[in-house]
Every structure is written in C-alpha cells, then in structure tokens.
Structure 1
Amino acid sequence: MTFSSSQNRRQFLATSAAALTCAGIAGPAAALSESQAVNLVNSIVAEINRVIASGKSEAAMIGDFEALFVRYADVPIMALYVLGNDGRSASAAQKRAFTQAFQGYISRKYGRRFREFIGGRIDVQSARAIKPGYEVRSIAYLRGEAPFDVTFLVSDKSGRPLFFNMFIEGVNLLLTERTEIGAMLDRRGGNIDQLIADLRASA
C-alpha cells in the first residue's frame, strides 16, 4: 500500500481518527486526566482496526466510521469551528443541520480510504497538558511509508473526553476543512442552507 502524496496521507488519517483537526476553542480542562486522554486515543485506534478487519462492504464501513466519529469526536465544536464567522448569523436550527451534514460529509469524504490502512498501525507515544485539555502524540506506521507524527487534541469541555482536532505532520486538519468549506460557502454567496443541502448530497 502506498499513498500518492503526503496530502492523501493526511486526508486519510483525518478520517481514520475522524477529523479531522480548533485549538483554543475549548475551555480549560477540569477533571480530564492524562490517562483518560490516552485511553480515548487508544480506543479510537482499536475501533478503527476493528472496522477495517470486519470484512464489511465499503458502504457499511462508512456507516461504521460515522458512528465512531460521533462517539469519539466533539462534532458540534468541530462543526461550528469549520463554519467560522458565518456561524454567528446562523440560527440554532441551521447550526444543528450543518453539524449533521458536516459529520456525514466527513464520513463519506474520507471513509472510503479505510481499506488503505490495512496492515498499518498507530502507536501512542506521549501526552502533555495544554490549555484545552491534552495533546496526545503518536506515530503512524503504514505499509510502504516512513513513520510520521499524528497528534490528537482531546478535551472534556462537552462533559466527557472527546477529540476535537488532529495534526498530521504538523498540518492542522480541522483548519484545512474550515478553509475548504469556507470556500464552498463563498461560492454559494454565503447561503448556509444551500451549503447544508450540498454537503448532504455530496458523494
């Protein structure tokens, strides 16, 4: 297994951990511990491997990925960050609709790359406290590729440990999605409802 570019590799791993990578959004961690943050990342990796080894169809795997994304990621925080300043004028109903459309869009966009991770692994290396919670650093090993860094940001702002961003080789993946979706919104003249509809309909 090989990747055609480092960008493809970053996109796939964003999906694999789902998220995609909003530092500074979350408030100070209260009860979150280092072990909780590390255990969360280990659970994500274990669940991804379970889905890959399931032998299910691509469509079923994508559905499983979306379930993992909802379970382990702070999707509302991520979605509002991606929506950016335009979210300030959005109604509560639009924010909810965008959050649902965003989670489905991310799942479909990257979930098809699951099979490329067969035979690979992610090993957690260390964790350190940061203002939003914890930064958990790991190394990814994929077939035919040199090992590379994957960093998860974990917070319990929403009441339980969840990851809210990732960095692949130093690239902020949630910021990348914010840029791309922001450009999509600009092309639609700032029409959030149209963006939501198009995200839902995306392949």
Structure 2
Amino acid sequence: MNRRFFIASATALSLTPIASYALSTTEAKSLVDRVVKDINKVIGSGKSVSAMIRDFEGIFKRYADVTWIAGSALGPDARRMSSAQRNTYVGAFTKYISGKYGRRFKEFEGGKINVVSAKAEKNYFRVEAQATLPGQAPFALDFLVSNRTGKNLFFDMVVEGISLRLSEKSEIGAMLDKRGGDLDAFIGDLQKLG
C-alpha cells in the first residue's frame, strides 16, 4: 500500500473507457480479426527481430488506443504532464511496448492466433482468441475493444486472465517511483528502453 495505490484507486473510474453504443459485437470482432491477421502475417514473415518490432509498432499504432493505454499505465501522474511531456511519453511508451512484446514474436514462429468469439461486457467488448504455439497447449488471448475515441480500437490484451495493461501499469509505476516521481528522468529512461 502506497501513495500510488490510493491515488490510482481514487481515479480508476476516470480512466475507464467510456461506453459507446455505436460499436457492435460484429465490429469489435472485425477489428480483432484484422489485428490477428496482421500479427499472423508478422509471425510467418521470417523477418529479423528488429523488423518484427517495427511491424508490431505499426500494428499497435493502427489498432490500439495508444494514448489511453499509455495514460492508464502511468495512472494519475499522467495529469501532471505538460503537453510536450505527454507527447514525448506516449511516443516513448509506444516504442517500449513495441520492443518488449515485439521481441516475443520469435516465440510465436510456427504458431497461429485465431479469433474464437466476441461479446459485450460492461462498457466494452471482449473478443476472445486462442494462440497456438508449436509444442505447447493453446492459451487464451482476449482483446478488449471500445470506440471511446470515435474509432474502433483495442485498449487491453488479456493473456490467460492477466491484463497486459495492468501489468505495465505496475512496471511503469515502479519505474517512475524509482526516479522519485521525476517525469523528465522517467521519460528519458523509458526512451532508452524502446
């Protein structure tokens, strides 16, 4: 229990995606079908890890609510940022996430992700997929989709019940705390990790 936990709890509702009645189950599934198609293409491309990371960054920018995910990962401290800091942070966060998860694409070689179903859940849609890797049991990979920005985008991926967004929130918070809450130092270090 620390300052970050209490502030994050108090502001959680403000960071929850806003309900949108224009998005349908079919549209949410269609978005994830496109995401999965692009990811499968990268997996099967035989490209180098650095090329896969660039491709993943493009997928992330195209289909994810990058600004919201970055803000949510930082939590209430995002409100302290100037416009310039926010832009730099979102760019650094995008490269950091793309590099971190793009490097894992090599593990998916010879595997495939398939969309299974989609359903409305609270104020968003959950699109369930299944990832199959060579020599491993299939595992669940869910995409949470909203159109709170006016565009259909995913705002989280849940792997076997573990939210990647919330996992990143914990790591990003620890990085900022380690730098005594200094946003510029944190952003600079995050840029180096991307």
TM-score, normalization by structure 2:
0.88
**131-140 or 81-90, larger mean C-alpha shift:** 131-140
Q: Which residue matches 2:80?
A: 89
Distance in structure 1 (CA, Å) of the matches to 2:112 and 2:44: 13
Judge conservation of contact 1:132–1:154 (CA < 8 Å) in 2. no
Q: Deviations over 1:18-60 (max 9, x none)?
A: xxxx896110112111111111111111101212222332222
- The answer to whether the Cα contact below 8 Å between 2:111 and 2:131 also exists between their aligned partners in 1 is yes
Q: Which runs of 5+ in 1 are unaligned?
A: 1-21
Greater fraction helix? 2
Using the TM superposition, give the Cα deviation of residue 112 of structure 1 relative to its aligned residue in structure 2, in angstroms.
1.5
User: 1:73 aligns to what?
Assistant: 64
Give 1:131 deviation, angstroms.
3.0
Question: Given that residues 185 and 192 in structure 1 are in contact (C-alpha distance below 8 angstroms), is that contact kept between their aligned partners in structure 2?
Answer: yes
Contact 2:44 2:110 in 1 (8 A): no
**1:139 corresponding residue in structure 2:** 130
| Other-structure match for 1:160 | 151
CA displacement at 1:102 relative to structure 2: 0.2
Structure 1 equivalent of residue 34 of structure 2: 43
Q: Which moved more, 1:45-54 or 1:178-187?
A: 45-54
Query: Which residue of 2 is the match for residue 172 of structure 1?
Result: 163
Q: For 2:29 and 2:136, how far apart are their aligned partners in 1?
A: 25
> How many percent of aligned residue pairs carry the same amino acid?
50
Contact 1:150 1:169 in 2 (8 A): yes
1: distance between equivalents of 2:48 and 2:126? Answer: 34
The total of aligned residue pairs comes to 182
Inter-CA distance 95–132: structure 2 relative to 1 (3 Å threshold): farther
Measured in 2, the distance between the counterparts of 1:139 and 1:54 equals 20
Of stretches 131-140 and 39-48 in structure 1, the one that deviates more from structure 2 is 131-140
Q: CA RMSD in A?
A: 1.6
**1:64 equivalent in structure 2:** 55
Superposition TM-score, scaled by structure 1 size: 0.84
Q: CA contact under 8 A between 2:40 and 2:113: conserved in structure 1?
A: no
Q: Which has the higher contact order (CA 8 A, sep 6+)?
A: 1
> Structure 2: any 5+ residue segments left out of the alignment?
1-11
